[in-house]
Amino acid sequence: MKTRTVTEGAMSAVIIVILSCFNFSFGFVGPLIPIPLAMIVHRHGLRAGIAVSFVSAAVTSLLLASPIIGLDLMIIGFLGIAVGLAAREGFRFTYIFIIGIGAAVLASVLRLFTFSLIAGYSFLDEIAVLWEKVGQQMLEFWQARDLPPELIDQYTDLVTSMPQFFQMLLPVFILANGIFQTIICLFGLGISYKRLGMSFPPIPRFIHWKLPWYFVWGFILSKAAAIILAYFPHQSIKIIFLNLDVFFSGAFFVQGTAIAWFYMVKAGVSKPVRLLVTAIALLTGNALIYYILTMLGVLDTWFDIRKLNKADKGGL
């Protein structure tokens, strides 16, 4: 058993190092890094996972000649260790998902502080500079199209306010990133375990996703607060409830999209067509579509539109 643990640990470390180097060079594969670490923790325990994390970080630091990258790799591994431990303890998918989100959010916060303290890197400052460059290019594009001065002034105000708006919504962006990373990790584990012929807590199909009933009260509270803040503005409270509004509205929008997919599946619409319809609907940027899907998600939580409480939802 010990030899098997060492062998699988070495293979996991090699995979993590390759993914880390590829992510450093090209990006986009960072969310895949926790997957092999979660597998080794699930199969062989916490000690094996910590050992793999240290070895992977040390080798990556040597290859890329940067201890900071190795430290960053260990922080990213929090998600894999947390998910692997939760799965090893036999938790249900819902609890594994919540634990994974918490670990991913913690890792994101630690990464921000680490880069700020050690490397003097300010994520917020970089975003502000990026928005200034993008905004300037957008303004030049709009000016070249000879738009009315009044419209140009509106666009200028919008672009100018975007860095501040992003800073206000930083908490919900961190949470959304944690949710995204956890979903990628769990789907990757589900696929890997299925190919290995091993069991993993089943991931509900997208058409069966449903939020807890108490999320509705968060949605109502965030909307009520927006009305109150219109008459009694306060910056700190505004930031809190703005993040709550974006979070709950976005969550119910996803549920509304799941409902739309549910009925497209019942109508026999193929997955490529469903993806195409969804992409077109979202890319139009129509606020009415967003509002309809959000309210559909809210109503489903109350009235069980899809009758999921009576149906056998199954797994992935």
Do 179 and 244 fall within a single domain?
A: no
Tokens of 171: 């908490």
Q: How many domains does the chain have?
A: 3
pLDDT at 34 over 70: yes
Q: 78 with 135, same domain? A: no
Are residues 217 and 302 located together in one domain of the fold? yes
The residues near 164 (Cβ < 8 Å, ≥ 6 apart) are none
Same domain, 221 and 99: no
Per-residue pLDDT reduced to its tens digit, 35-52: 999 999 988 889 999 999
pLDDT over 70 for what percent of the chain? 85
Whether 181 and 103 map to the same domain: the answer is: yes
User: Are 147 and 111 in a shared domain?
Assistant: no
Do residues 242 and 188 share a domain?
Answer: no
Q: Predicted confidence band at 119 (pLDDT cuts at 50, 70, 90)?
A: low
226 in the same domain as 133: no
Tell me the residue length of the chain.
316
Helical packing angle, 46-64 and 34-44, nearest 10°: 150
Q: Which pair of structure tokens corresponds to residue 185?
A: 């990790």
Asked if 265 and 273 count as a contact pair (C-beta separation under 8 A), the reply is no
Distance (Å, whole) CA 7 – CA 271: 39
Please tell me whether residues 162 and 221 are part of one structural domain. no
> Are 83 and 148 in a shared domain?
no
pLDDT on residue 313: 45
Question: For residue 172, how many other CB atoms are within 10 A of its CB?
Answer: 17
**Residue 288: predicted pLDDT:** 85
149 and 216: one domain?
Answer: no
pLDDT in tens, 253-295: 999 999 999 999 999 988 888 889 888 887 776 788 888 999 9
φ/ψ region of 304 (left if φ > 0, alpha if ψ in -120 to 50, else beta) reads: left
Domain of residue 100, residue span: 2-119+173-196
Nearby residues of 73 by Cβ (< 8 Å), 6 or more positions away: 16, 20, 33, 53, 56, 57, 60
Residues 209 and 299 in one domain: yes
| Segment of 20-34, 97-111, 195-209, 225-239 carrying the highest mean pLDDT | 97-111
pLDDT at position 158 over 50: yes
